Structure 1
């Protein structure tokens, strides 16, 4: 089962619709369920997808050297990809991760599916909760 916040899924679907007819691929990161301000009904260690890294971050370095500097090391074990012309499953052209979330038009919840890197389907659970606030300031 893959868990994702309602807010993140909504933003990703909006971004996919705006980028149409181009495909989109975005790195996703998770927050442990226990870090949320309220109980979300999951084991505290369960990862919930809450954040994405901008698709163009570090793209110049990646194009020249093949290094993805847009994603911090150790982060981004999931990926969201859009397929404006289908299919509703991962393809060989997709960048793979431990979990791949694929969306197709009409860019609604029913057109989003989760898969593992082998293409086997996962359940997708949309969590109606806001992730904890993050700060760049050191404590």
Structure 2
């Protein structure tokens, strides 16, 4: 997908999500980490005073990475059945990968998805790169968060 300038559409993610994922990667080090990511429509997000592009500047039809599924949830089921039963089918649109050895490029051994966010040490938000199946994309951090849910 290209715009009039020939540049591919960016990958959008909330700043809060990427910050949380970087903290998970730091906690997991020296192990690699793979986390399923879900998107939200900009209209489903709440604007925040945080760092990043204002929510109002995100196109209404953009998918914004805003949520994740805990990487260790359902591991007992995975071990028995060999299938990830903890992540709802069709709900994830991408993955976050932590590469503790410092290589920011996707690797053949990674859990791949249509969109990837790859982080390397020192696990700063600025060290996260976005990819799609055609290569590297521009990551746009959005000053937004998912609304609080009632349990």
Shorter-chain TM-score above 0.5: yes
Q: Which residue of 1 aligns with 2:132?
A: 116
Instruction: Deviation per CA, 1:12-50: give whole Å up to 9, x if none.
Output: 101101111011110010110122244532222211111
Q: Which residue of 1 aligns with 2:60?
A: 44
Looking at both structures, which has the greater relative contact order when contacts are Cα pairs under 8 Å and sequence separation is at least 6?
2
Instruction: Deviation per CA, 1:55-92: give whole Å up to 9, x if none.
Output: 01111222222211111121111100100112111101
Among candidates 59, 83, 97, match of residue 67 of structure 1: 83
Structure 2 gaps of 5+ residues are 1-9, 48-54
The answer to whether the 8 Å contact 1:6/1:128 transfers is yes
- Equivalent residue of 2:57, what SS? coil
CA distance in 2, matches of 1:113, 1:19: 19
Once the 2 structures are TM-superposed, how far is the Cα of residue 132 of structure 1 from its aligned partner?
2.3
CA distance in 2, matches of 1:133, 1:106: 30
TM-score normalised to structure 2 length: 0.82
Among candidates 112, 125, 129, match of residue 144 of structure 2: 129
